[in-house]
Structure 1
Amino acid sequence: MLPHRDDTPADLDLGDLVMRVARDLRRSGMAAFEPYDLAPHHVRALRVVAHQGTMRLGELAQHLRVAPRSVTDVVDALESRGLARRSPDPDDRRAQVVELTDDARALVGRIDEARRAGAEAYFARLPAGERETLRRILLRLDADA
């Protein structure tokens, strides 16, 4: 059974609490791209290409953990909005690569900044020392994964 907001803290284990915080952060992060009329999967694709660089469509599908045909639809939508462009892979002309336009890179910068600001506001409820402790703990858990 999934935990609900009305569950008492004693009813929640660490996994439940981490998932609740992650959902809250995801919701506030989604607010960062609402003004741009982008779906969450479009933003994820933009962010992956922005941070990883030009890549084959198959690689993007792997990063997004979706089927290659799904990533084609996402890239089609981004391309139609002038945010991405496809071109033949210089190493294998049978394959295509996707890259972001300058407008898309600027947009990702604005979205990333808004997401960071939202996360900072979320965690500002904690004193600085507790935020730093939480950061160290999460970094350690992430490194061990």
Structure 2
Amino acid sequence: MPDLTSGADVAAVNALRSAVMRLSRRLKHQRVDESLSPTEMSVLGTLARCGTATPGELARKEHVQPPSMTRIVAMLEAKGLVRLEPHPEDRRQKVVTQTERAESMLEESRRKRNAWLAELAGKLDDEEWAVLQKAAPVLEKLAHL
């Protein structure tokens, strides 16, 4: 593992943090449905990637407290974006499943964000684009550590 405490490494980590945060903020503004919070969109994205989950599992994946996730799920259910169903093995629990409406909204959101990002990336030269393509799996790994 690299030691990232030297001056140059600290500066590189700072630059990476700053760039990722700015790009993330700009991407968040490319939303299809302005009535959903970024947290609600994130929960829907997690359900799309991971499938059905209990509110407790969603809370862990989203790094929020279970009571907060219960409120988020209730809001999403009220908007018709998720449904609660009995847990197949534990009757005391419920599982959260996204609806078709949520799936289509997420697909439209991905299309909009991808188009925006593609437009930006189209302004890079070939070498910059190649570097960015190689960095994508590493950034994905960082996002899930």
Whether the 8 Å contact between 1:79 and 1:85 is mirrored in structure 2 is yes
The percentage of counterpart residues that share the same residue type is 28
* TM-score, with structure 2 as normaliser: 0.81
Counterpart mapping for 1:82-101 below 5 A: 82-101=80-99
Residues 1-145 of structure 1 aligned to structure 2 (within 5 Å): 13-33=11-31, 35-140=33-138, 143=141
How far did residue 138 of structure 1 move?
Answer: 4.4
CA contact under 8 A between 2:55 and 2:95: conserved in structure 1? yes
Contact 2:32 2:109 in 1 (8 A): no
Higher strand share: 1
Separation in 2, partners of 1:34, 1:113: 10
Look up the equivalent residue of 1:16 and give its one-letter code. Answer: N
**CA root-mean-square deviation:** 2.3
Q: Structure 1 pair 27/140, CA: closer, same or farther in 2 (3 Å)? A: closer
**When the two structures are superposed, what TM-score results if normalisation uses the length of structure 1?**
0.81
Give how far 1:60 is off: 0.7
* Deviation of the 1:14 alpha carbon: 1.5
In the TM superposition, what is the alpha-carbon distance from 1:34 to its structure 2 partner? 5.7
Q: Deviations over 1:107-134 (max 9, x none)?
A: 0111122222222233333213321223
Q: Following TM superposition, by how much is the alpha carbon of 1:54 offset from its aligned partner in structure 2, in angstroms? A: 0.7
5+ residue gaps, structure 1, are 1-9
CA deviation profile, 1:4-40 (whole Å, cap 9, x unmatched): xxxxxx9x82222212221222122212226431110
Q: What is the deviation of 1:140?
A: 4.4
Alignment CA distance shift 1:41-1:90 (3 Å): same
- Three-state SS of the structure 1 residue aligned to 2:64 is coil
How many residues of Structure 1 are paired with residues of Structure 2 in the alignment?
A: 135
- Name the CA distance, whole Å, in 2 between partners of 1:137 and 1:81: 37
**Contact persistence 2:32–2:108 (CA under 8 A):** no
1:55-86 Cα offsets, whole Å, 9 max, x none, are 11111111101111111111011001000111
- Contact 1:25–1:119 (8 Å) recurs in 2: no
Preserved contact between residue 32 and residue 105 of structure 2 (Cα < 8 Å):
no
Q: Larger deviation: 132-141 or 35-44?
A: 132-141
